[in-house]
């Protein structure tokens, strides 16, 4: 009996190894669900839904999209975090998740996910009324020095815009009137109505109004000027050490096999050469910026550290 067991052991081990190899080689063998933690039609939905559609060709399997809106993304992220970590559920990872954690408004953390790949970065902006008194970020700064606590900056409490507004105030070294105006449309209405001096908003949300003259982007908070807005200077060019943007990427429940993550990341990287998808991104002013799992994880770690520290300073 002992001899038989000794003979069977290597065969069993070989069988398990073959089974694991087959599992890796066969992945994916069924549809991969993408949970988008926002309602259909928004910026995240457009970007991620289009990515899912084109990824199907590279993965050889469907990638159905499930929108799970609620609590600023927390409901969808919680559902995704609790999914079986078998490579068949992914979700969108973005800065908003870290902000929700920093403001203690969610029971889910970005640490509950394994980074898969980043697909893009969207610069944030400081934007004012097109025909208003502010032509540059320096104009806004000088007004805030002349009228401490009176110059209004529209943002939304519990959103990345609140944290960026706090950074602007910190760099200006003066008191600003930080106004909780809500979402993008509400912030723009407040500025256009003359109730607030400027707003914090992703460039994709204000570029059309800037080009029409309705709004004026005073500065993009990126490391260099944007190709589609070559005449708009960065904050750094104007003497202010301000950089802020939103990352958009894919994540999987923590514990998902690394081989599956690598397979997904390789497929996502191919989107960079997909002319149709890149044309879609260009149309909505979304900058493609691919990072594989390791580098994406480093980006998340750096953003997590900065945001959590700022959250404490804001009293959360």
- Kindly list the domain boundaries of the chain, sorted by start residue: 32-121+245-313, 123-238
Is domain 32-121+245-313 given the CATH code 3.10.180.10 in the classification?
A: no
Pairing of strands 198-202, 152-155: parallel
- Asked if residue 250 lies in contact with residue 87, where contact means CB atoms within 8 angstroms, the answer is no
Return the closest-CA partner of residue 117 out of 92, 99, 96.
92
Do the two domains 32-121+245-313 and 123-238 of this chain adopt the same fold? yes
With contact defined as beta carbons under 8 Å apart, do 226 and 286 qualify? no
What Cα–Cα distance (Å) separates residue 78 from each residue in 41, 66, 69, 228?
Answer: 21, 14, 11, 36
Measured distance CA(16)–CA(259) in Å, rounded? 16
Contact present, 164 and 155 (Cβ < 8 Å): yes
pLDDT tens column, 88-100: 999 999 999 999 9
On whether the CB atoms of residues 290 and 142 are closer than 8 A, the answer is: no
CATH class of 123-238: alpha beta
What does the mean pLDDT of the chain come to? Answer: 91
Q: Is 215 helix (H, G, I), strand (E, B) or coil?
A: strand
Please report which confidence band the pLDDT of residue 25 belongs to, taking 50, 70 and 90 as the band edges: low
Closest to 33 (Cα-Cα) out of 67, 58, 70? 67
Q: What is the mean pLDDT of residues 101-113?
A: 93
The pTM is what?
Answer: 0.85
DSSP H/E element including 116 = strand 113-129
**pLDDT-derived band at 4, boundaries 50, 70, 90:** very low
Phi/psi for 133 (5° steps) reads -80, -10
């Amino acid at each position: 009996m002992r001899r038989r067991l000794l003979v069977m052991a290597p065969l069993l081990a070989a069988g398990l190894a073959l089974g694991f190899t087959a599992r890796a080689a066969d992945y994916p063998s069924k549809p991969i669900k993408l949970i988008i933690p926002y309602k259909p039609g928004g910026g995240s939905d457009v970007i991620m839904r289009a990515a899912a559609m084109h990824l199907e060709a590279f993965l050889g399997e469907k990638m159905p999209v499930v929108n799970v809106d609620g609590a600023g993304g927390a409901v969808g992220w919680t559902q995704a975090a609790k999914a079986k970590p078998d490579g068949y559920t992914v979700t969108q990872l973005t800065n908003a998740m870290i902000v929700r954690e920093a403001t203690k408004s969610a029971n889910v953390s970005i640490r509950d996910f394994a980074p898969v790949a980043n697909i893009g970065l969207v610069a944030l902006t400081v934007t004012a009324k097109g025909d208003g008194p502010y032509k540059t970020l320096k104009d806004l700064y000088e007004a805030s020095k002349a009228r401490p606590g009176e110059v209004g900056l529209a943002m939304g409490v519990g959103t990345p815009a609140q944290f960026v507004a706090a950074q602007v105030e910190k760099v200006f070294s003066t008191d600003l009137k930080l106004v909780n105006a809500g979402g993008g449309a509400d912030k723009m209405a407040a500025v256009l109505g003359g109730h607030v001096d400027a707003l914090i908003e992703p460039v994709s949300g204000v570029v059309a109004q800037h080009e029409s003259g309705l709004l004026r982007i005073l500065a993009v908070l990126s490391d260099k000027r944007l190709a589609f807005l070559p005449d708009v200077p960065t904050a750094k060019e104007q003497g202010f050490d301000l950089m802020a943007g939103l990352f958009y990427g894919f994540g999987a429940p923590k514990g998902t096999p690394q081989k599956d993550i690598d397979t997904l990341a390789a497929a996502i990287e191919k989107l960079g050469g997909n002319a149709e998808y890149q044309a879609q991104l260009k149309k909505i002013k979304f900058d493609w910026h691919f990072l594989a799992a390791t580098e994406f994880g480093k980006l998340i770690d750096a953003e997590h550290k900065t945001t959590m520290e700022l959250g404490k300073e804001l009293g959360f």
